[in-house]
A and B are shown apart, each in its own frame.
Chain A
């Protein structure tokens, strides 16, 4: 689910842009350890592969068909960090060229699919991919990658105050589960075909080295669980949550614009506050990227 611009409330998209920028930069850095600039063509071409894979239809029944989303499959073949970079690049190209997903919402989409989805999709493979439960792990990876991404997106929409009656919420969760099962089945089928064709393509789950990534994957799944709870608990979004928790009075100034600090009396107009939140968010993203760029520069020269 690619969230377009105009759906998320300012605090939500701004906060997620701020969260996704350093996370994507960290993933890029991790990926560069295993894949220096020499491997750029591989990651780029695999991104094109995921795009093209959407043209191959998998029959589901009743005249409908589905296609591969790919985050988990990439994580199991290229490794989670590289997969995350590829998915980020895909989301950026989709937003720019295909108007699939927004630009301000890019942070949210990257956070949901390229980070949350990929890490959650890698988690079962990381835990059980080497043993007898391999097939289950692969299926579960595909399943989780889609489910976690979808639930995070749903929670973000709810946070932004897009009201959804409980019945409808149940239906959409049901639909998510169906498409997650489909992704699990497709991932497993393609994975097995790849193993037969060329066993080298499938990566053995890494040992201790990527324990952090396993931990992050677990965090992504937990976050999605919180998302489900939140989505069902708070039909009216952030402000209702704040009220429910009884912190409305004190936190109202803070919560709707987590990037507060500029809410001092001299900025009166509500829209100015929101604009300031947006601009501050962008400035932070910019600063984070620039810093990470600096940080990356020496390692880039080393690899040259």
Chain B
């Protein structure tokens, strides 16, 4: 599954992996804003951005081709709208839609591929995002795999049984499967809560303090944002 691959990437070791999430998040936001506010005809800039991201991927020792392919998941959706814009007589906009969304996705991939999810959430926490929401996201991410596996088993079981049934029956069987999955997820949440209470949970989930924001992190952020600003003013 994709998030397992990303998880492995994020546990690597490199200069980018070592940077504090509180530096990487604003850096990526800066880059995204650079791309988002670029004019429609920005091919040279787009190329530089692309090379910058590839350099980032290489510096992070991530598999570049795999990352490029992965960021391509945005393309089908974009291609539809690009086609619309093209047909509407705006080929420039069509091209810029593709470029902008692809570059943005690749930048996010570089962030998530070099920052383990707990650090990312902790970074968002110290940047002011609501704690409750982040905790929900943390549990969601943790149990994604567990619940998906259950769903996969159910799908398999459904296929084994329902090969010949009519559409109506299969529709109803799928609804039944989801109801069961809902109830199992609900029960699991209760068991998790029980095991939390058993270890002295009092309503507050302890958050380990993030490691210090180093001078190197500040320097990285400043350098990166200056590059973005420079590129933007050149465009």
Contact = CB atoms under 8 A, between A and B. Distances in A.
Whether A and B touch (Cβ < 8 Å) is answered with yes
B85 interface: yes
Question: Size class of B's contact patch?
Answer: 35 or more
B183 A42 contact: no
A128 interface: no
B78 interface: yes
Nearest to A43: B136
SS class of chain B's interface: helix, strand, loop or mixed?
helix
Interface in A75-93: 77, 85-86, 88-90, 92-93
Contact of B32 (A31, A99, A104, A186): A104
Given A5-B35, A44-B136, A103 B193 contact: no
Contact of A201 (B88, B108, B131, B183): B183
A4 B104 contact: yes
A55 B155 contact: yes
A99 B73 contact: yes
A162 B180 CA distance: 42
Given A37-B204, A168-B84, A7 B101 contact: yes
Contact of B233 (A269, A278, A304): A269
Given A42-B186, A289-B129, A99 B70 contact: yes
Interface string A108-132: 0000000000000000000000000
Contacts of B85: 162-163
A96 B120 contact: yes
Contact of A56 (B97, B172, B181): B181
Contact of B135 (A40, A57, A165, A278): A40
B99 interface: yes
A233 interface: no
SS class of chain A's interface: helix, strand, loop or mixed?
helix
Given A28-B133, A56-B155, A103-B108, A5 B101 contact: yes
Interface of A: 2, 4-8, 10, 13, 24-25, 28, 31-32, 36-49, 51-53, 55-59, 61, 68, 77, 85-86, 88-90, 92-93, 95-100, 102-104, 157, 161-165, 168, 185-186, 189-190, 192-194, 196-198, 201, 269, 271-272, 274-275, 278-279, 282, 286, 289-290, 292-293, 296, 300, 303-304
